[in-house]
Amino acid sequence: MGFVSSINPLYSLSGLVVGLLVGQTGVGGGSMMTPLLILIFGIHPTTAVGTDLLFAAVTKSCGIVVHGMNKTVSWKITRRLATGSVPATALTILAISYLKVDTERASVVISMILGIALILTAVSLVLRRKVLEFAGTHLDDLSPARARQLTILTGAILGVLVSLSSVGAGALGVTALIFLYPRTRLSTIVGSDIAHAVPLTLCAGLGHWFLGSVDWPLLGSLLLGSIPGIVIGSHLSPHVPEWVLRPVLAITLLLVGGRLVL
């Protein structure tokens, strides 16, 4: 009875919408949910980031199941990303814990970082095709050792960015992997990035839990909508044209990102 009484239908509806979006496009979890919690529901930015990280970890676990069944996960790429992201995430959480930054100032900084990350995500979505074409013609000669090093570095950058803003593991990660692995199928790159997002967001989310910035009733309400949402979205994905979804998502992220930055 206690759990049922703590469920907020509006939060669950938001989780459903974001879950549908993630299921259809592979991105949009942190990019949409954190700004939604901050701008629409008035959740404190640090709480929104911490809660959204665990929300993404659970929601994208469903994506791993689908991609695993379709054999579209390169565990080699996932391990390389995690080698960089997990230590970077732990160090970022420790820095947040020990710096003892004023909460109001932290809110401003997190909102600014989130806005910039959203704008970068939107740009990467718009330029995805051009990035793919450039990668295919200019980066075929990247040595395996160099690709491994740059993948670990990419993971480290994503670890810091996601720990601070909960944004970046999706579109930004996929865009970086397109550059590093131009001959790998896009579906495998997306699947590998989703697989990496789970330990990354779980590690960062647990860190924020220890910092006291996770709202558990809010998380439960969101997951109640997002889990069926991502399942439905994954089934609808083959039937919705990418050229329709990608510009809509990019424009939305640009507007939200601009609102947070300004």
Q: Tens digits of per-residue pLDDT, 132-150?
A: 677 666 666 678 899 999 9
Q: For residues 125 and 121, what is the distance between their CA atoms, to the nearest angstrom?
A: 6
- pLDDT confidence of residue 135: 67
| Cβ burial, residue 54 (10 Å; 0-12/13-18/19+) | buried
Positive or negative torsion for Cα 171, 84, 77, 202: negative
Question: Which pLDDT belongs to residue 1?
Answer: 47
Catalogue the long-range contacts made by 66-69 (C-beta closer than 8 Å, 24 or more residues apart): 66/234, 67/190, 67/191, 67/194, 67/195, 68/191, 68/195
Nearest to residue 68, comparing CAs of 186, 190, 157?
190
Q: Please, which pLDDT band fits residue 200 given cuts at 50, 70 and 90?
A: very high
- The model's pTM is 0.82
Domain count, the chain: 1
Residue 238, pLDDT score: 63
Least confident of 72-81, 90-99, 161-170: 161-170
Kindly state the average pLDDT of the residues 182-208.
Answer: 87
Residue 10 has pLDDT above 90, yes or no: yes
Q: Is the pLDDT of residue 103 over 70?
A: no
**Helix residue spans in 211-241 (DSSP H):** 216-236
pLDDT mean across residues, the chain: 83
Q: Which residue has the higher pLDDT, 231 or 2?
A: 231
pLDDT at residue 2 is higher than 60: no
Parent domain of 44: 2-261
pLDDT at residue 29 tops 90: no
pLDDT of residue 4 exceeding 60, the answer is: no
User: pLDDT class for 221, splitting at 50, 70, 90?
Assistant: very high
pLDDT digits (tens, 9 = 90+) for 153-184: 999 999 988 888 887 777 778 878 888 887 88
Q: Residue 14 CA to chain centroid, in angstroms?
A: 16
How many Å apart are CA 213 and CA 53, to the nearest integer?
11
